[in-house]
Amino acid sequence: MIMHKENNLDARVLVKQFGSPLYVYDAFKIMQNIKIFKEIPYNNKEICFATMCNNNPYILRLFRRMGVKIFVNSPKHLSIGFKCGFSPQEIVFTSSNLNDADFDYIIKSRVIFNVDSLGQLEKYGKLNPSSRVGLRINPLNIILSDNKNVFIGPNCRLGILETEIDKAFRIAEKYDLSLNGVHVYLGTNLMDINFFKNGIEEILRIAKNFTDLEYVDLGGGFGVKSRFHDTEFDMVEYGSMVSEKMHKFSEIMKRNIKLILEPGRAMIADAGYFLTTVIDVKERADKIYVGTDSSVDIFPRPLFYEDAFHEISVYEKNSQKSLNKPADICGNTTYSRDIIGKDRILPPVCEGDILIVHNAGGYCYSAITDFLGRLRPAEVLVDKERVVLINKRESLKPVYDSRDLNYAQVNRLSRSY
């Protein structure tokens, strides 16, 4: 969906009101995405949004109102979940290399918990005997492609190997633990249904050994198309496939096993837009550099993911009339890799134009860093006739304030040298 005035996504009006750059989320599109997952025809299922993708409390509360639960991998996000009204049984926690304070917080929180290693299981058993816990599994018997977005196999650091499961059962018996769930995360932004199919078959084969099994958590990783002309991930086909396999698996286990899915970007990426204003245009022999008022520390997916591609359009300009050279869309720092989009074909642009960066809903604002020092933009949620400010724009403090105790202390310290 392209921004236009009829659906209240008028980029110029939003920028005038809330400043540039700006994150914009479309509540209706989020609800459409939720509906797709809810229509998966396996009744005993829970959809848990991955908070690492977007942890804005307004967004999380929207998910909760729509009956979506959450997946977290840190005590901080667990705390955010509680503040947003999620109950312990509406939160799944899975992580690695947890310290004693993490374990203490998780156990006291009484959330659904999956351990990542035999060491984690041993520690959990000592701290919380006679309880229930799931295992994150790393299946090895899957033919892997060279896709670097795959998170299983011998070169993946996460999860418990099938060869370690007998030890896990012994640790569980030692501490009277019920191993009531298996968890797997096959990868991220995967488009191949057959890969999901093979992964599900493998994890269900392993899960048959869990006599106390209550749930199978298949994680997320559902692909989001990057380019307008790409084919979308077929959620209907996936839903039909996973439902058929879960029904057969429940028959084998002689009880109704719960299915848990943990979508992140698939829920919100295409419901988000990043607006940035053109500040300067440099023309070179073979390229045009379009300078903006943003940077890769406040739109960080291109910084963290080498293969990240986001369509970029120029608001209110005809894309059929293009520049005669490819354009790099650049940030406003001296960092040489401060490039939001490379080699793009854009219509003629000039100072003051607004660029729309698409698929900005997930792993964008939540991944902002401070290393380039740009101020954090505001976030707004467009919901039918309303535009709601859900995160204020960061502003600069005065350069010097005599009432600032820390500044005064440092100033006195510097004079002592």
- Give the model's pLDDT for residue 5: 47
Q: What is the pLDDT of residue 298?
A: 97
Give the rounded percent of residues in the chain with a pLDDT score beyond 70: 91
Q: Closest Cα partner for 327 from 315, 337, 310, 340? A: 340
pLDDT grade for 154, boundaries at 50, 70 and 90: confident
Q: What is the mean pLDDT of residues 72-78?
A: 97
Which residues are 161's β-sheet partners? 138
How far apart CA 406 and CA 412 sit, in angstroms, is 10
- State the chain's mean pLDDT as an integer: 92
Tell me the percentage of the chain whose pLDDT exceeds 90.
84
- Residue 412: its pLDDT value, please? 57
**pLDDT greater than 50 at residue 363:** yes
Confidence of residue 145 (pLDDT cuts 50, 70, 90): low
Average confidence (pLDDT) over 295-307? 93
Residue 155: is its pLDDT beyond 90? no
| pTM of the predicted structure, to 2 decimals | 0.92
For residue 302, say if its preceding peptide bond is cis, omega within 30 degrees of 0.
no
Q: Is the pLDDT of residue 4 over 60?
A: no
Q: Is the pLDDT of residue 281 over 70?
A: yes
E-assigned strand segments in 27-96: 45-50, 69-72, 91-94
Which residues are within 8 A (CB) of 212 and not within 5 positions of it... i.e. 6 or more apart?
A: 132, 178, 179, 180
Report residue 11's pLDDT band, with 50, 70 and 90 as the boundaries: very high
Task: Please tell me what DSSP assigns to residue 409.
Answer: H
Distance of CA 349 to the CA centre of its chain: 32
Q: Binning pLDDT at 50, 70 and 90, where does residue 342 land?
A: very high
Specify the pLDDT at position 153.
Answer: 83
Task: Give residue 123's pLDDT.
Answer: 97
Q: Which H or E run includes 240?
A: helix 235-253
- pLDDT score, position 361: 98
> Is residue 401 very low, low, confident or very high in pLDDT (cuts 50, 70, 90)?
low
Eight-state DSSP code of residue 6: G
Q: Is the pLDDT of residue 141 over 70?
A: yes
How large is the average pLDDT for residues 148-155? 81
User: What pLDDT, on a 0 to 100 scale, did the predictor assign at position 6?
Assistant: 42
